[in-house]
Amino acid sequence: MSPSPRTRRGLLAAGLAGLVTAGLVVSVTTAEAATVFSSNFESGASGWSKSGGSWSLVSDGSQAYAQTDTGSERARQFAGDTSWTNYSVQARVKATAFGSTAGVVALTARAAGATKMYRLSLTGANRVQLEAMNGSAINVLGSLSQSISTSTWYTLRLNVSGSTISGTVNGTSVGSATDTSIAAGRIGLLTESAAGRFDDVVVDDAGGTTPTTPPATTPPATTPPATTPPATTPPATTPPPTSGALYVAPNGSASADGSLANPTTLASAITRVAAGGTIYLRGGTYSFAQTVTIAAGNNGTSSARKRLTAYAGEVPVLNFAAQSEDPANRGLAVNGNYWHLYGIVVERAGDNGIFVGGSNNIFERTVTRFNRDSGLQISRIASDTPQSNWPANNLVLSAESHDNADSDGEDADGFAAKLTVGSGNTFRYAVSHNNIDDGWDLYTKTDTGPIGPVTIEDSLAYNNGTLSNGGQAGNGDRNGYKLGGEDIGVNHTIRRNIAYKNGKHGFTYNRNLGTMSVSNNVSIDNTERNFSFDGGSSVFRSNTSCRFASGSNDKIVGNSDSSNQFWSGTNGSRCSTMSGALAWSFASNGSLVVTLGGRVVTP
């Protein structure tokens, strides 16, 4: 039952083929409540096995998996492994039609067969029920009155841990019971005499022993590996204290007191939390049409930060799919100072997923995905913000950003600290992949002048320029690390990073004529140059460049000595350990571990 501690999201083959089927992610990590499986159907439904019904992919804000035949008495889709025992499965579920009041649209766990499983069901009788199914016998373990709207998504979470079976809908308990009738089995999507839709399925080991990962299949060699949501690592926090805490849930009310039993809304909690206090976000999808803003002046202090964090073992997803693509339509705007965000997913905003205009903030284990500009961007709040107030000293830690893409294909990076940022901004243990433009963008313009020096360290950029579904755009720069612009010198620090198979250069000065410190970086099989520095006076030490496919020689202008191994037509001896499948993970302490061919290569 114990997976390899370094097998996780982002598994790639040395070629274009990967270990992940399009639309299906197998992921394991050593952190508490680790995600072991997820599927959001953006690139298909491979990995699911059908038993009855009429299933197809549909667009419903995002790609979803739909069963449309209300006359079908038994429609199932299964995924995972029959040996899975203790785990939690969560999904967004919509019952689009009921053939009768006996109709059911359900999420299932421990499916030992087509008629033997635990179910968390939306019913045609306007109830949510926790059930044990064994043949034709249905044992109701818990029940909650709930008006079921056929136009509404509900977040269902089903937990199986030993003999304890429990479930929630939108963060509200449906019931918890003891039952020993089913010991192990797969997850499933189920309808009976009903039609329904399913999206954002995630399995984690919050129920106890980590499930065995289902077997991965290899997509065609032309299909880039998909590393799609949900969140990388749910937080490993403990249940919060009552003092100084506010609780938020997808079904919370702005007027609620914000207790665990009576949660409030995110917008309300942001205005009410005191310095040193914590906002706990319950798991599920929060749908927004407008930017959620932490306003300038809404500050913590250096010794008493304000915290916005996922509740223990749960994954809150801030979804802005209702926004149109527009520079004004950001997702979460953090313009205050001394905040600490943890374990939050932000997706599908009309511009940046997370915009950072404030200073001295920490963004830890966040995931920004499918946004229509850079996933996480640090820049000034407004055009009249004085340079002395440009955002400074922000830390992005153990974060992931992927599949961000704008319509013209040239602006959506994974991470950006560009145009108007102060000094001291740092990216550490971050992963940027499959964004339409660059992994990192530190661009400068002559009309705003130099930005403050940025540090990028112990991080990974791969497959930028190509989305997880294979999509590309001719306008994108497609670099791993783009470090400047317009002949402006800024002395960034770039150390102990890896660039792998990005669509243009791995590391590029991009007309930054400053003196950057570029040390202990590894760059492998980027389409053009692994290292591209045509000007400036940067200092290069102990960098490694390898190629196992065609590409251009590296170009280095600056202070470079024999500690470097750049590529000029042949590989050096260091490359002998740089071949094979690439895998990455966040260790329990947040550090990034990258392996190639099973060998640790993290600088």
DSSP string covering 373-390: S-SEEE--SSTT--GGGS
Single-letter code of the amino acid located at 171: G
- Tell me which residue of 145, 209, 202, 143 sits closest to 177, measured CA to CA: 143
User: Are 114 and 202 within one domain?
Assistant: yes
Q: Give the domain-ending residue among 177, 207, 237.
A: 207
555 catalytic? Reply is: no
Q: Is residue 10 domain-resident?
A: no
User: Are 341 and 489 within one domain?
Assistant: yes
What DSSP state is assigned to residue 18?
B
Q: Is residue 227 domain-resident?
A: no
| Of the listed ranges 32-41, 228-237, 312-321, the one predicted with least confidence | 228-237
| Of the listed ranges 169-173, 227-231, 344-348, 536-540, the one predicted with least confidence | 227-231
User: Where residue 353 sits, what CATH number does that domain have?
Assistant: 2.160.20.10
Question: CB-based burial of residue 299 (10 Å sphere; 0-12 exposed, 13-18 middle, 19+ buried)?
Answer: buried
Q: Is residue 230 domain-resident?
A: no
pLDDT tens for 106-116 read 999 999 988 99
Q: Give the domain-ending residue among 207, 230, 253.
A: 207
Q: Is residue 479 domain-resident?
A: yes
pLDDT tens for 439-498 read 999 999 999 999 999 999 999 999 999 999 998 887 889 999 999 999 999 999 999 999
- Tell me which residue of 187, 118, 175 sits closest to 146, measured CA to CA: 175
Under the banding of pLDDT at 50, 70 and 90, the label for residue 603 is low
Question: CB-based burial of residue 271 (10 Å sphere; 0-12 exposed, 13-18 middle, 19+ buried)?
Answer: exposed
User: Are 263 and 197 within one domain?
Assistant: no
User: Are 353 and 264 within one domain?
Assistant: yes
Structure tokens at 228: 């799609």
pLDDT tens for 202-261 read 888 754 433 433 333 333 333 333 333 333 444 433 343 345 899 999 999 999 999 999
Kindly provide the b/e burial profile for residues 322-355, where b requires at least 16 CB atoms within 10 angstroms of the residue's own CB.
Answer: ebeeeeebbbbbbbbbbbbbbbbbbbbbbbbbbb
User: Are 183 and 285 within one domain?
Assistant: no
Q: For residue 369, is pLDDT > 70? A: yes
User: Are 67 and 130 within one domain?
Assistant: yes
Question: CB-based burial of residue 570 (10 Å sphere; 0-12 exposed, 13-18 middle, 19+ buried)?
Answer: exposed
Q: Is residue 240 domain-resident?
A: no
Under the banding of pLDDT at 50, 70 and 90, the label for residue 34 is low
Say what the pLDDT of residue 8 is: 34
User: Are 250 and 201 within one domain?
Assistant: no
pLDDT tens for 396-438 read 999 999 999 999 988 999 999 999 999 999 999 999 999 999 9
Say what the pLDDT of residue 22 is: 25
Domains identified in the chain, total number: 2
The Cα–Cα gap between 566 and 576 comes to: 14
Say what the pLDDT of residue 246 is: 96
Q: Is residue 315 domain-resident?
A: yes
Q: How many helices (H) and strands (E) does the chain have?
A: 1, 49
What DSSP state is assigned to residue 271?
H
From the candidates 94, 418, 482, 501, give the one annotated as an active-site residue.
482
Q: For residue 28, is pLDDT > 60? A: no
Say what the pLDDT of residue 405 is: 96
Q: For residue 81, is pLDDT > 90? A: no
Say what the pLDDT of residue 40 is: 82
At residue 326's C-alpha, the angle toward residues 423 and 362, to 5°, is 30
The Cα–Cα gap between 36 and 21 comes to: 14
Higher pLDDT, 392 or 101: 392
The range of the structural domain enclosing residue 479 comes to 245-600
User: Are 533 and 455 within one domain?
Assistant: yes
The Cα–Cα gap between 10 and 374 comes to: 20
Q: Is residue 259 domain-resident?
A: yes
The Cα–Cα gap between 173 and 179 comes to: 17
pLDDT tens for 125-175 read 999 999 999 988 999 999 999 899 998 989 999 999 999 999 999 888 999
Q: Is residue 222 domain-resident?
A: no
- 558, β-bridge pairs: 538
User: Are 418 and 553 within one domain?
Assistant: yes
User: Mean pLDDT across the stretch 373-394?
Assistant: 97
Say what the pLDDT of residue 318 is: 98
User: Are 288 and 169 within one domain?
Assistant: no
| Of the listed ranges 162-171, 228-237, 315-324, 343-352, the one predicted with least confidence | 228-237
What DSSP state is assigned to residue 118?
E
User: Where residue 48 sits, what CATH number does that domain have?
Assistant: 2.60.120.560
User: Are 191 and 338 within one domain?
Assistant: no
The Cα–Cα gap between 528 and 410 comes to: 18
Query: If residue 272 lies in a helix (H) or strand (E), which one and from where to where?
Result: helix 266-272
User: Are 203 and 315 within one domain?
Assistant: no
Q: Give the domain-ending residue among 186, 207, 228.
A: 207
The Cα–Cα gap between 31 and 183 comes to: 24
